[in-house]
Amino acid sequence: MGHDRTRVRPARRAGAARRPSGGSRRRGVNQLAGLGPFFAVETHPPGAAPPRLWRPLAEVLDDGPALRHRVGQVHAALAAGGGDVELRVAASVAHLGMAARLCSPALALAAGHHLVPDFADAWWQPVTGGAMPLSLRADLTPVAPSEVAGAFAERVLNGPMARLDRAVGAFSLAAKVRQGNLASALNGAAVVLRGERPEWTDAVSVLLATLEQSPPLAGAATRTGGRFRRTSCCLIYRAAPGRAGPKCGDCVLTGRPA
């Protein structure tokens, strides 16, 4: 994209920054529901134990029973279409969906409110179909505007997304595909935010451009005239009979920007 490939700086504590009030933080979270199901989150008190139906998000970020069950459910859903679905294809689709589910609210909170969630104490509900229910700690910590990109890289990309990336790699899914899935999830969230909250367009674009210059996103996609195209394929076309399914609009295999 012509940017200097400068590493994103880790966030410092923004003690001197003007901190949003508790009411402002709550409004920021409450507004997410209006952006769609992949953005909506609930909140819970710090240190609270997950109540019935909720589970610690951490359990599905590692290669264990929860993640394998979720990939298995995706595999069954894809196989219902009549194709001979490879497990890595199901893993890619599950990974892309989970990346979108975590990155969408994180990007909205970061760009729109300078709030970057820490997913260490997040909860989820293991439901199938659509966006999985997600709950974040209610005491979101604001950061200075200059530190938003660093905080996002530290708490989101190098946190739950790096953890999930390692786990999904156990399904023989190439690192390039996983990297592209993450880039595609973030870009998809950005497209929604620019459309629904045009006043955030500049903040979203600056944040995304900064993140795309550095690992783990560097080289995952290209932009031609501002239009996004990943440098890999999510593989979902291979779920169709004869591996002849349609390609996604941002896929490298389309041969043109999307």
pLDDT digits (tens, 9 = 90+) for 93-115: 999 999 999 999 999 999 999 99
pLDDT value for 26: 73
Domain residues of the chain, as ranges? 22-254
pLDDT exceeds cutoff 60 at 12:
no
- The whole-number average pLDDT for the span 177-192 is 98
pLDDT value for 222: 95
Q: Using 50, 70 and 90 to split pLDDT, how confident is the model at 203? A: very high
What percent of the chain has a predicted confidence (pLDDT) above 90? 83
Are the CB atoms for 41 and 136 separated by under 8 Å? Answer: yes
Query: What amino acid is encoded at 165 in this protein?
Result: D
pLDDT exceeds cutoff 90 at 214:
yes
pLDDT exceeds cutoff 90 at 136:
yes
Nearest partner of 112 among 22, 13, 31, judged by Cα: 31
- The whole-number average pLDDT for the span 76-88 is 95
Task: Round to whole Å and give the CA distance between 254 and 233.
Answer: 10
Are the CB atoms for 76 and 87 separated by under 8 Å? Answer: no
pLDDT value for 27: 74
Which three-class secondary structure state does DSSP give residue 137? Answer: strand
Beta strands in the chain (DSSP E): 42-44, 55-56, 123-124, 134-137, 221-224, 227-230
Average pLDDT in the chain: 90
pLDDT value for 6: 40
Between these two residues, 36 and 6, which has the higher pLDDT value? 36
- The whole-number average pLDDT for the span 57-64 is 97
- The whole-number average pLDDT for the span 195-203 is 98
Task: Round to whole Å and give the CA distance between 103 and 109.
Answer: 10
Largest Cα–Cα distance of the chain, in whole Å?
Answer: 59
Task: Round to whole Å and give the CA distance between 120 and 101.
Answer: 15
Q: Compute the radius of gyration of the chain from its Cα atoms.
A: 18
**HSE of 187, CA atoms in CB hemisphere, 13 A:** 23
For 25, the token pair is 């933080």
- The whole-number average pLDDT for the span 157-180 is 98
